[in-house]
Amino acid sequence: MKKGTLFLIPVPLADNAAHKSFTPFLVDTINSIKTYIVENEKTARKFLKEAGLKTPQSELLIHDYGKHKRGSSLAPFFKELNEGVDVGLMSEAGCPGVADPGADIVAEAHKRNIKVVPLVGPNAMLQSLMSSGFSGQSYAFTGYLPIDKGDRAKRIKDLEQLSQRYRQTQLFMETPFRNNHLMEDILKNCQPNTMLCVACNINAEDEYIKTLPIGLWRKEKVDLHKKPTVFLIYKGN
């Protein structure tokens, strides 16, 4: 029996950003699928409604891949795919599989010889890189830095050195309620001529994206508390 296709469906990064995120192919895709694997069912249903889903939501089969379901067998998520049914995979925000637990589902799909189709959509890492003015030829996303203040300071300095050595843009992030603390540590531990881009609330109405040398950032006042933010540093010389 021919297996179904796993469609990787991006979700808007912010409230009221839906119109910036949809493509005709995405709309056509969600209207051809009735089975989904999602990180957050409530968010997924809201997105599908905003994206123009014509199928009654009562007819949808939604598998919840939230944090309480991870670590168990992935087999139940692939029942429909193995039966030839197309399935959509959605993160809570952004692209599934990128800094997202959905990567486990995608990896399992490859193991099972299931076709994977990524759709175009919002991605905080790539959009922040696009907006930074930094090198897009060589870049690395580190994810979350250590919570311990000493370990975090060392990691920031290490990333700065890597950026200089390889002329490589370094991207990282923090839990939103700790953003201001991370910003303070970056300003304290990086050299004045190192470039820093702060990309906050991408696609939201209060989107804030700014690039300055560390020396000038030290004169700025910015509040990033509880706002999804990507930090990028670049030291090319």
Q: What is the pLDDT of residue 226?
A: 96
**Strands 35-38, 139-144: pairing kind:** unpaired
Q: What is the pLDDT of residue 67?
A: 65
The pair phi, psi for residue 11, each rounded to 5°, is -120, 145
Angle at 230 between CA 228 and CA 235, to 5 degrees: 160
Query: Is pLDDT above 70 for 214?
Result: yes
What distance lies between CA 155 and its chain's CA centroid? 21
Using the 3D structure, point to which of 67, 84, 118 is the last residue of a domain. 118
- pTM of this structure: 0.91
Using the 3D structure, point to which of 91, 118, 145 is the last residue of a domain. 118
Residues 108 and 128 in one domain: no
| H/E element, 50 | helix 41-50
pLDDT interval class at 69 (50, 70, 90): low
For 11-17, what is the mean pLDDT? Answer: 85
| Count of structural domains within the chain | 2
For 203-216, what is the mean pLDDT? Answer: 96
* Beta strands across the sheet bearing 35-38: 61-64, 35-38, 87-90, 5-9, 115-118
Domain that holds residue 55: 5-118
Which amino acid, one-letter code, is at 221?
K
The pair phi, psi for residue 190, each rounded to 5°, is -95, 155
Q: What is the pLDDT of residues 119-175, one digit of tens each?
A: 999 999 999 999 999 999 999 999 999 999 999 999 999 999 999 999 999 999 999
For 105-125, what is the mean pLDDT? Answer: 96
Residues 88 and 166 in one domain: no
Using the 3D structure, point to which of 64, 95, 118 is the last residue of a domain. 118
Residues 25 and 97 in one domain: yes
* Strand ranges (E), 82-194: 87-90, 115-118, 139-144, 169-173
